Amino acid sequence: MAALVAAGWWPAMAGAAEWNRLAFEAKTFEDVLKALGGVDAKASGDVVLVAPEIAENGAVVPLQISSRSPATDMLAVLVEKNPNVLAAVFEVPEGTVADFQTRVKMAQTSNVFVLARSGGRYLYAVKEIKVTLGGCGG
């Protein structure tokens, strides 16, 4: 069953959009952007990443991601130096605030991007987070 899921043959659970394998297996910001339907992205002060400067434990790095751009309908988090860059994609329905908190793993010191889609445009913010103890080791 797991192999079938891994191979993409097993149908996604009823009601859930299909998991975006292409985006989650992408290795660069540009490839993730493309897989999420974007062509180019612009740095924007409307997109905000709140995160520690230094993460002592790369296994648990708390992040707050948000967008003040009013038409934001998607927010994503990318960790540039993780083996798979994309960590999460949040679809933001009408009525939901484009402001999320979650925790990510970081293998090493890396740029972390927040990518927002607003009115069909892709906007981002980036910040380097230093990691003293990586979170993806064996």
Partner 1 sequence: MANPMKVRAAVDGDTVLVKALMSHVMETGRRTNDKGETIPAHFIQQVTVTHKGRVVLSAQWGTSISANPFLSFRFRGGAKGETVKVAWVDSKGDSRTDEAIIT
- Is position 7 an interface residue for partner 1 (rule: CB under 8 A)? no
Residue among 5 and 43 whose Cβ is closer to partner 1: 5
Mark 64-103 with x for binding to partner 1 (rule: CB under 8 A) and - for no binding: -------------x-x--xxx-xxxxxxxx-xxx-xxxxx
Closest separation between CB of residue 35 and partner 1, Å?
11
Strands 54-55 and 121-131: parallel
Q: How far is CA 68 from the centre of its chain?
A: 17
> In 3D, which of 121, 115, 103 has the Cα closest to residue 76?
115
Closest separation between CB of residue 93 and partner 1, Å?
6
- Is position 61 an interface residue for partner 1 (rule: CB under 8 A)? yes
- Is position 16 an interface residue for partner 1 (rule: CB under 8 A)? yes
Residue among 1 and 39 whose Cβ is closer to partner 1: 1
Question: Coil, strand or helix: which one is 17?
Answer: coil
Name the token pair of 94: 């009408």
Q: Residue 49 — φ and ψ, nearest 5°?
A: -115, 120
